[in-house]
Amino acid sequence: MKKTNNATKNKLNIQEPLSNNHRKVAADQFLKFFEKNGGIDILKNNIVIDVGCGDNKTKEFFEKIDMQWYGMDIKQSENLIIGDMNNMPFSDRFAHIIYCVHAYEHTEHPVQALKEFKRVLKPGGVIFLSTPYPTFGQIFGMDKTHINVLNEWQLTKLFKYTGIEIIKLVTIKPDLDNPSTWSIITVGNVV
């Protein structure tokens, strides 16, 4: 396993643009995952599609680790590709990583979205998915745009159904007094 050198660690002091708490949590988990699985350097020049990136604040995060960032959202914004996760405007086997942070719960068709993620990923590609933890508030109207707030069992079933191997599934609760900060991180591998 390749370790991240000190110069790379200093370079990854990247939390400033990630003002939203779930973005920080997801970015930290993303880095930890790759540090334990080959090192951050293996990401260099990889193509990442940031699904549902909104205001594209994650662009700087990925550029600092030398990744080719493609931001996609259903809303128009600077430097973004307009697209829906259920019908992505990318060719087959285009990207190395799908990064989808607190966007998946907005789709009406979660199986179709996973199939699209799988379609646009190269063999061996990784899906990094962060969704809200299904608390009472999340399920019963805290955010009316959340259509599918799924638990660990449901995410596992969906990944298995679409033929995506789960590498890691973890529940993150950074602020125990604030359930809106809780997330489920699911990392899957496309064979």
Q: Each residue of 81-131: pLDDT tens digit?
A: 999 999 999 999 999 999 999 899 989 999 999 999 999 999 999 999 999
Query: What is the pLDDT, as a whole number, of residue 10?
Result: 38
Domain 25-189: state its class.
alpha beta
Reply yes or no on whether the pLDDT at 137 is more than 80.
no
Reply yes or no on whether the pLDDT at 1 is more than 70.
no
Domain ranges for the chain: 25-189
Reply yes or no on whether the pLDDT at 165 is more than 60.
yes
Cα first-last separation, the chain: 21
Q: Are the C-beta atoms of 22 and 178 separated by less than 8 Å?
A: no
| pLDDT band for position 6 (cuts 50, 70, 90) | very low
pTM recorded for the entire structure: 0.86
Query: What is the pLDDT, as a whole number, of residue 20?
Result: 58
Instruction: Please tell me the total number of residues recorded for the chain in this structure.
Output: 191
Q: Summarize pLDDT for 17-62 with one digit per residue, the tens.
A: 445 577 888 999 999 999 999 999 999 999 999 999 988 888 999 9
Q: Are the C-beta atoms of 132 and 138 separated by less than 8 Å?
A: yes
| pLDDT band for position 140 (cuts 50, 70, 90) | low
| pLDDT band for position 133 (cuts 50, 70, 90) | confident
Across the range 159-169, mean pLDDT stands at 94
> How large a percentage of the chain has pLDDT more than 70?
84
